[in-house]
Chains A and B, each alone.
Chain A
């Protein structure tokens, strides 16, 4: 079995319990440092003023939303190709996290856009792509909820996740294309090509902090999912226990 053998539920659980506090603790420290830098040390933008600080939330969320989808797609390959039970536990734990990152990204984008564009929403190419990613996340979560059997749900969702992984770049490309076609008069580019180091470092520290927090949450969610599955396995076992019928009445009915 090789490396897959290391990923049995018992080992993952043990690993998760050992690693979780460290990941969480480190994440909290890095994030605190990052947010301090972002909200206290980092300079305000000469044009946008203090609102630039939303960037330290908004951009890492956008990165993590995509990162989570990439990991989910990897898990989907694990489910479909290696048929590994831990792969769909991982994928299932990932979906709500990705959706939350995407939602925060959209909300912060909207808050950031309000003073810039004087409206809560613009059909900007980036925001629109993130909105579609959000829709895909929600669809995948709904799919997880719709199928009762966890294994079947895992496989079906893995297929949709992979189709999404193939399609999201196509969607991104088409939305960018669509946006340039309908280019409005002049939209202020909120995140231009250059960024000052004084802003970049806090941004990267925040991103690392949020990523650690994400791994922590993912471990917690995986543990919960494993427990949920264990309960279900127990119930399936309990249902299989056969109670012998009274011998006087033969069993009847269709198979």
Chain B
């Protein structure tokens, strides 16, 4: 058991450490999140009622963009310095490598985003129940975005300058996450709508995308050597 967990944990620990070092940019995602949330009121106006209504959607879109943009170099940095080849020289399947990379990235980039959500929500005048629901949906939904982004990141290894194309391809697939995430948050504060059905669907989408993303990213990485 520990034999199997060894390489996995080693890789997660290494990537987390790298993201915290100079040039790692662990907190850039949170800064981006803050920047988007700060910008929106200048576009829609300072009406707190309006902001409270569209707040969950703004936060979700900001999280979506932060995740997808932040993931672009998930595999590319390892490819650029040759580590990607070496990391594949194990008896573990490629999918466990993908999962380790995504887990490390989620812990280093998405989790801080989730933790920052309660504070940043105050800027958009969300009420406490909505803040709790939003934080919970981001916690459950961002893994789906990370795994989806991993496919894009694996494509970016092949495409080199494919960041924009990657977003074009991945964004449509992230629509269900956005729909259920925002719906669950809204349902928590809107009386007749139940919170749990969209929340459960969000969890289901996360699970499906974890599988699809892992398999897809592994296949894309392997093809690079075809």
- Listed in ascending order, the chain A residues whose CB lies under 8 Å from chain B are 80, 132, 135-136, 138-140, 142-143, 146-147, 151-152, 155-156, 159-160, 162-164, 166-167, 170-171, 173-175, 177-178, 181
> Can you list 19 contacts pairing A with B, beta carbon distance less than 8 Å?
A132-B172, A135-B172, A136-B172, A139-B165, A142-B169, A143-B165, A151-B226, A152-B223, A155-B226, A156-B155, A156-B158, A159-B219, A159-B223, A160-B155, A164-B173, A166-B208, A174-B179, A174-B180, A178-B183
- Listed in ascending order, the chain B residues whose CB lies under 8 Å from chain A are 151, 155, 158-159, 162, 165, 168-169, 171-173, 175-176, 179-180, 183, 193, 198, 201, 205, 208, 212, 216, 219-220, 223-224, 226
Contacts of A151 in B (CB 8 A): 226
A178–B182 Cα gap in the complex (Å)?
Answer: 10
A46–B216 Cα gap in the complex (Å)?
Answer: 50
User: Are A163 and B223 within 8 A (Cβ)?
Assistant: no
A80–B201 Cα gap in the complex (Å)?
Answer: 30
User: Are B162 and A178 within 8 A (Cβ)?
Assistant: no
Contacts of B219 in A (CB 8 A): 80, 155, 159
A155–B223 Cα gap in the complex (Å)?
Answer: 7
Contacts of A132 in B (CB 8 A): 172, 175
Q: Which of A135, A138, A146, A163 contacts B216 (CB 8 A)?
A: A163
Q: Is the interface of B mostly helix, strand, loop or mixed?
A: helix
Known: A163-B216, A167-B212. 6 other contacts (CB 8 A): A135-B171, A155-B223, A159-B219, A163-B173, A164-B173, A177-B180
Contacts of A178 in B (CB 8 A): 179, 183
User: Are B220 and A156 within 8 A (Cβ)?
Assistant: yes
Known: A136-B172, A156-B220, A167-B173. A147 touches B183 (CB 8 A): no
Least Cβ distance of B174 to chain A in Å? 9
A130–B183 Cα gap in the complex (Å)?
Answer: 22
Known: A160-B169, A175-B175, A175-B179. A166 touches B223 (CB 8 A): no
Known: A174-B175, A175-B179. A142 touches B168 (CB 8 A): yes
A155–B180 Cα gap in the complex (Å)?
Answer: 32
A154–B176 Cα gap in the complex (Å)?
Answer: 27
Q: Which of B165, B176, B201, B223 contacts A146 (CB 8 A)?
A: B165
User: Are B205 and A170 within 8 A (Cβ)?
Assistant: yes
Contacts of B198 in A (CB 8 A): 177
Least Cβ distance of A150 to chain B in Å? 12
Contacts of B151 in A (CB 8 A): 159-160, 163
Q: Which of B158, B205, B216 contacts A147 (CB 8 A)?
A: B158
User: Are A177 and B226 within 8 A (Cβ)?
Assistant: no
In the A-B complex, the 4 residue pairs with the smallest Cβ-Cβ separation, listed nearest first, are A174-B176, A139-B169, A174-B179, A155-B223
